[in-house]
Amino acid sequence: MSNIYAMRRANGDWFAFDVGGRLRVPVFNSPEDARISRVRNFGMLLFKAVALDANFLQEISRVGVGEEMDFCIIKDPHASLRRAKVIEHAQLALQIPTATEARL
């Protein structure tokens, strides 16, 4: 199972942007895609690519923002973030390694 990456700042904040009053977190298939997108979207300059794990989904659920947040998969890091395809929480959860898989 390959990793999925999102952009996180040193203080723990995740990068998200507003679309119609809802937060959208872009996720990437590789850290290289995330770096390319970061250069093209200057709001991400203080963020770095971090591999997502099961703890990420638990963290989002605990703070109660999971229901107010969408995720979008960035297939082309050269394109606008707003063109990305929105993915369901359940679909994202299937792509994120569980704690057991991460240890292997």
Q: Which pTM does this prediction carry?
A: 0.82
CA distance 17 to 5: 16
Read off the pLDDT of residues 48-70 as tens digits, 9 standing for 90 and up: 999 998 787 777 656 555 567 88
Query: What's the confidence (pLDDT) of residue 68?
Result: 72
94 has a pLDDT exceeding 90: no
First to last CA, the chain: 11
Q: If you average pLDDT over every residue of the chain, what do you get?
A: 84
pLDDT at 102: 46
Whole-number pLDDT of residue 22: 85
pLDDT tens column, 19-54: 888 889 999 999 999 999 999 998 999 999 999 987
Mapped onto helix, strand or coil, the DSSP state of residue 44 is helix
